[in-house]
Structure 1
Amino acid sequence: MRVGITGHQGLSDLTEMLVRGELWQLVTAFGAYQLVGVGCLAPGPERWFAQAVLDHGGRIEVIVPAGARPDAARSRLLGRATAVHRLAPAAAGGPGDDTCRALVGMVDELIAVWDGRPGSGPARVVEEARRAGLFVQVVWPDGGESPA
């Protein structure tokens, strides 16, 4: 099973704790030995999900936008990825920084850590995934605080 991840960045400490718990439960339910987590390793939910997949014995694949510069945390997870998909720059006819279509095209379903508000990055990915007919599991815990 190939499961993509998208989510809000900059979540409060309380929301982080709640989301991490829900992601851990989802990964456990998937049976991670057969799970391949796919994402860009953006700070927050994407990294938490990747780490949960690895901690459960699953594998991760990473989508790297054109021109992305990895920080130490991303580099550490990149080193554990079974595949790294580097997107070609838009100037060369590639998607550049538009990881949405690449992600949706590589997964069987999507987890979205999303507060349900339109116009955000996660909202755009959810819309694209639903248009492609993917099952979307929205994770937004009771008591979660929307990012500023």
Structure 2
Amino acid sequence: MAVTRIGVTGHRDIPAAALESVRSGIRATLCRRSVVEALSSLAAGADQLFADIALSCGVPVTAVIPGMDYERSLGTGDALTGYRRLLTSSVSQVRLPREASDEAAYRAAGRWIVDHVDSMVAVWDGCPARGPGGTGEVVAYAHRVGVPVTVVWSPGVRRR
């Protein structure tokens, strides 16, 4: 089966020592396959990097918005600016019906993405999730439901 829809889960803070390896891994996954759609929640870090690379490879992005106040949860600065820029570049949006953008909403968005893709990219250091809806939890869910996961990271690099 050809991979056509790829989703992302990953850390918001990617250490500089892992960044080039992460970029290369995402690019290899998105630019060298027959990908017709990339799904991302457009959060800071891995989600925005994935969406940027998808767009640079000519892959349309679908934004999966975890909650009604998601934009407010991103704060101010680069995360919010990146989100708004990528949202306007997305070909479609899926707005999940949660009032608050909290851990339950992030878990729901991660699962929604897994449930609607052929494979996942995980920008993941391999450590357990730090909270509900975290990268490790989304990866475990993907494994449970049989969605293949490609982990991109730099071996030996840990997050703070």
TM-score, normalising length from structure 2?
A: 0.81
2:64 corresponds in structure 1 to: 63
Distance 1:80 1:111 in 2: 20
Q: Runs in 1 of length 4+ with deviation above 6 angstroms?
A: none
| Unaligned 5+ runs, structure 1 | none
Following TM superposition, by how much is the alpha carbon of 1:89 offset from its aligned partner in structure 2, in angstroms? 1.6
1:136 corresponds in structure 2 to: 149
| Unaligned 5+ runs, structure 2 | 75-79
Amino acid in structure 1 at the alignment position of 2:142: A
- State the secondary structure of the residue aligned to 1:63: strand
Distance 2:33 2:44 in 1: 23
Count of aligned pairs between the two proteins: 142
1:103 corresponds in structure 2 to: 113
- State the secondary structure of the residue aligned to 1:54: helix
Following TM superposition, by how much is the alpha carbon of 1:90 offset from its aligned partner in structure 2, in angstroms? 5.9
RMSD in angstroms over aligned alpha carbons?
Answer: 1.8
TM-score, normalising length from structure 1?
A: 0.87
Identity %: 30
Amino acid in structure 1 at the alignment position of 2:44: P
Q: After superposition, where does 1:1-148 map in structure 2 within 5 Å?
A: 1-31=4-34, 34-66=35-67, 67-69=69-71, 71-89=80-98, 96-97=105-106, 98-120=108-130, 121-143=134-156, 145-148=157-160
Distance 1:111 1:59 in 2: 16
- State the secondary structure of the residue aligned to 1:137: strand
Following TM superposition, by how much is the alpha carbon of 1:17 offset from its aligned partner in structure 2, in angstroms? 2.2
- State the secondary structure of the residue aligned to 1:123: helix
Listed one character per residue, the Cα deviations across residues 14-52 of structure 1 (whole Å, up to 9, x for unaligned) are 211221122112222214xx4311010111121111111
